[in-house]
Structure 1
Amino acid sequence: MAFHGRSEASIARYTAAVYDTPCIDLCAFDGKTGFCTGCYRTRAEAREWRKMTDHWRHLILNERPRRQVKLGRGTSQAPKHD
């Protein structure tokens, strides 16, 4: 079955890519916020990422713009991750 012209295999590849680790191998945690300055996750989120459901991963990724602002690295108008 296709969704909007995409095959199930295509959707599975897209989903896997979307929720793959956001780590960019720049692990340094901010002492004030606890966020990684590379991927904007907490230590616990980074440690548990592979065990999380896609729902939790999605929620964390949607927090990225707000976390960037807290670290002074983004704008409050940053796009949401869908």
Structure 2
Amino acid sequence: MERPCIKVCEFDDDTGWCLGCGMTKPERKVWKRVPGYREAILENLPARLAALSAEGHTVGEAARRRKKG
């Protein structure tokens, strides 16, 4: 299983969620070391990105395009 990371790596100060993929820094660290935790991480990401978007953040692929541009 590939990481959900899309190389944005900008984190919301309030939640600690990445604007690109929705993971937290601790989740990124355990991704390789604890494969059993991956499914739980993946389940949470869509809701996190939706919540960040609702707060006015540019998230996901749009955040990556913004970062490059």
Would you say same fold, with TM above 0.5? yes
Q: Which runs of 5+ in 2 are unaligned?
A: 55-69
Identity of aligned residues (%): 37
> Which structure has more RCO (C-alpha within 8 Å, separation ≥ 6)?
2
Q: Which has the larger radius of gyration?
A: 1
CA RMSD of superposed structures (Å): 1.3
Gaps of 5+ in 1: 1-18, 74-82
**Quick check: which one's helix share is greater?**
2
Partner of 2:25: 43
**Hey, what's the Cα distance between the residues in 2 that align with 1:46 and 1:36?**
10
2:11 is aligned to 29
TM-score, normalised by the number of residues in structure 2: 0.69
What's 1:58 paired with? 39
Q: Note the C-alpha offset of 1:70.
A: 2.0
Number of aligned residue pairs: give it. 54
Over residues 16-48 of structure 1, what are the superposed CA-to-partner deviations in whole Å (9 max), with x where a residue is unaligned?
A: xxx211111111010011000011000000122
Q: TM-score, normalised by structure 1?
A: 0.59
Distance 1:23 1:65 in 2: 13
